[in-house]
Amino acid sequence: TNSKGKTPRRPGPKKASNIEKDPVGVYCRIRPLGAEDEDCCVEMISSSTIQIHAPDGLKANRNGEYKETQYSFKKVFGINTTQMELFEDVSRPLVDDLIQCKNGLLFTYGVTGSGKTFTMTGSPGEGGLLPRSLGMLFNSIGPFQAKRYVFKPDDKNGMEIQSQVDVFFPTLSFSFPLFTFAEEACKSGNVDEDCCYSVFVSYIEIYNNYIYDLLEEAPFDPIRPKPPQSKILREDQNHNMYVAGCTEVEVKSTEEAFEVFWRGQKKRRIANTQLNRESSRSHSVFTVKLAQAPLDADGDHILQDKNQVSVSQLCLVDLAGSERTSRTKAEGSRLREAGNINQSLMTLRTCMEVLRENQMCGTNKMVPYRDSKVTHLFKNYFDGEGKVRMIVCVNPKADDYEETMLVMRFAEMTQEVEVARPVDRPICGLAAGRRHRNQAFKEELSRRLAERGGPINAGDDPVLVTQLTESLPALPPCELVDPADDQTLPRLIEALEQRHRIRQMMVEQFHKTASTLKSMFEQFDGQLNAKETHLHDQQSKLNQKDKVIMNQRAEIERLEKKSKTLEYKVDILQKTTDMYEQDKRSLQQELETREQRLQRELSDKRRMEQRMQGMVTDTKLKWEKECERRVNAKQLEMQNKLWVKDEKLKQLKAIVTESSTGGGCITEHLDKPERPSRERDRNMPQKRSASPSPIPDLYPTNSSTTPSTSSSSYRSVASCISDWEQKFPVDSNSEARYTGTPQYRSRTPAPCHSTSSVGRRRGHRLAPGTETAPPVHPMHRRSQSAGGEKWVDHKPTSNLDLDTVMQPIIPNAIKVSTPNEKALSKCHKYVLRHQELASDGEIETKLIKGNVFKTRGGGQAVQFTDIETLKQECPTAPSRKRRSGSVERPVQVEDIENRVRA
């Protein structure tokens, strides 16, 4: 196969499994509102908790309720917090760790315009975290700084010590009064005086996921200017990430360091957006690197050993603000910048989520550091190379509510991530206080030389010897010109003796000083021996303490193992308890569900029983009324039949009487037929209609012809009855009907009326040759639904069919039980059948009518214009205006009879 093997991954540094971890320190700072009339959505409840509520007009959840959320931090700084208070709580511990050779990372995070750059850089008169950190660093290590160019970067994220410094450049002084806070200068108490220090700063920006060096001095070509070249990330021998080829400037004062920062700040990409007039369009990283090396045993020069050089760094990161392009109105390059900013911040959130999941759930997922330059550069900090601090800047105005909620969720999740605590640097084997002893020795030597007028070892220095010789008495002239001269030699002898005495005195003083010094040395030796003895005793005690500590550590490990075992058991029991609790809750919920279902079924059953009882009662009342109506109608029909039979008997009686008395009697009886008197007819005269007068031409005969008295000339009884029935046919089973318009016709027979009596009355008042009575057209109101338009007939399923006389029959209608847009779009009219109970206990139907028209949005709307009421009544029911006991014929029937008579 041609497949190439993968390059083996270089193993990372092995870390102990029982290292201590600290959570990421997350702080919150609330900036003041831009205007007093702006709506505020953030409230500071305590020194560590804030509360966020949704602004007016924005629903925080699906139920439409306003939701308030609280978030807790390590500390919350309100709008009245000064820059000094923020520095003391957040940055001062990181500077102390920097001096103790521990790395630190501090970055500001928040929405655009929330105050991140002000917190990091500050303003004139109110320096931010960056200048205050530089001031504290130089105030602490100022007297112990090494000469310039003693330390030199090796371009591999390390430092070298130069053996000889050939050229010494004095420290440059810069006047940069923009950020002044000398009255608030502070120092660190953890500075090692036996070391020499040097500070290097670098400044980069990450723009569109590319790294640019802001301190790089590229030659400017006015003809063909070259764009800045991006840098790459590399990994050093300690597996720490660094920017290859980044410019590192050695600074010796706060002013010089801040001048370098300001020089790079001018190159940073800042643009004007809708949310911020000077919005940072890139992530800026200002790195302060501190190199320190111990002094030699004499405390005079730096120890020339590269392995003894310690390098620590503090990264101050000003992240670009997260933003929504819909609010910033970003276009073109601004839109691309916003996309890259949001993508890098999203990668940072993803890395934090994976780290938290790995730590809380025990998983080993790969953290996607390489997806963004920001996370790739600082992955060592999250893997345990230093402390991590984050300041969440919040703008409390209501317009930033949704972005602020996302920032709060990310900050709350970041607090749960734990970072390994950095280990202390190894202690140098040289004795402490070397610099102080060397300085004290030099000062004492200078003092003593000043007292004696010269150094002690004068023989080694010819200048000192000359000064000492000149301090002796001068020799007189020694030239002898006369043998008898007795004055020159005595003067010379006296001068030499004086010099000898001075020399003896100096020798005695020297011996005296030597003896004193010897005694002092002996005393120092004795003290040193005593100190060594004491040190030996203390070392033995320390060894004993170490043994005790080892035993205690072994005991602690045993107790930790036992504790872990018990914790494991507790976890198992807790999981078992949770399972039982979950089963209990599920069973309880199931029981409650069944109880609710049972209660619902019982309530439904009770409602159904009540409904059925009501329906039974209504049906019972309806059928009672119907039976009463039918009984009355049948009774009236039987009375009419009985009256017809009585009439027939009267006619028969008249015929029989005529046959016995002669033809003249027949005519007389026909003119005035009398109804036979019966007891039953006398007892109930009110229940039957008045008999109409007989028709004179009931049996037409020839008036000029006188009937014969013989029996053969008369008709038989059967023939007379047959002629009567043929002349006036009576349908005993027919019932009276009210006639109306074609659209309104009775569906059921009208109650309490028979056709026999009415038809008979009509027949008595018509011409003899007429066989049927003309129809009666009572006055009525024609329904509005009889037009030619198309109707939507909305009849709910709960409506009942009532036997009212006037029933609407709507042609070309679409019948629906529930209205829909499709049916409404096809019709011009709409009618709704509504039923309700009237005051007299009867059910009446209301026809609510309206016009259908189209709305501007493309839908259908109905405008109601008319209401028509249909009600069922029994004509035989006594009127409320009549007195009880009076039985009269219905007004409607009398009205019909009067119109027929007319």
Q: Which residues are annotated as a binding site for ATP?
A: 110-117
Enumerate the β-bridge partners of residue 582.
none
Q: Is 675 left (phi over 0), alpha (psi -120 to 50) or beta?
A: beta
- Residue 157: which residues within 8 A CB-CB, separation 6 or more? 234, 236, 238, 240, 242
Tell how far CA 624 is from the center of its chain. 66
Q: 824 exposed, middle or buried (CB, 10 Å; 0-12, 13-18, 19+)?
A: buried
Angle at which helix 129-141 crosses helix 254-265, to 10 degrees, equals: 150
| Residue whose tokens read 């004068």 | 458
Tell how far CA 667 is from the center of its chain. 111
**β-pairing verdict for 210-213 and 195-207:** antiparallel
| Degrees to nearest 5, angle at CA 71 with 67 and 75 | 150
Round to whole Å and give the CA distance between 268 and 265. Answer: 5
Round to whole Å and give the CA distance between 744 and 714. Answer: 53
Q: Rounded to 10 degrees, what is the CA torsion of 87, 93, 95, 101? A: -170
Q: What is the DSSP string of 185-237?
A: ----S---TTEEEEEEEEEEEEETTEEEETT--PPP-SSSPPPPPPB-EEE-T
Spatial contact of 793 and 831, defined as CB atoms under 8 Å apart: yes
Round to whole Å and give the CA distance between 651 and 669. Answer: 9
Amino acid (1-letter code) at residue 505: M
Angle at which helix 488-661 crosses helix 717-727, to 10 degrees, equals: 150
Angle at which helix 488-661 crosses helix 663-671, to 10 degrees, equals: 160
Written as six digits, the tokens of 688 are: 């039957």
Written as six digits, the tokens of 470 are: 């000149």
Identify the H or E element spanning 26: strand 25-30
630: closest CA among 748, 746, 739? 748
Q: 107 exposed, middle or buried (CB, 10 Å; 0-12, 13-18, 19+)?
A: buried
- Binding-site residues, please? 110-117
Phi then psi for 834, rounded to 5 degrees? -120, 130
Amino acid (1-letter code) at residue 372: S
Written as six digits, the tokens of 800 are: 């009942």
- Residue 234: which residues within 8 A CB-CB, separation 6 or more? 157, 241, 242, 243, 244
Identify the H or E element spanning 637: helix 488-661
Cα separations in angstroms, 604 against 406, 540, 595, 608, 610: 48, 91, 14, 6, 10
| Residue whose tokens read 């005695």 | 508
Amino acid (1-letter code) at residue 739: T
Written as six digits, the tokens of 69 are: 């959320």
| Degrees to nearest 5, angle at CA 268 with 262 and 272 | 115
Round to whole Å and give the CA distance between 211 and 234. Answer: 12
Q: What is the CA radius of gyration of the chain?
A: 62
> How many CA atoms are closer than 13 Å to the CA of 618, on its beta-carbon side?
12
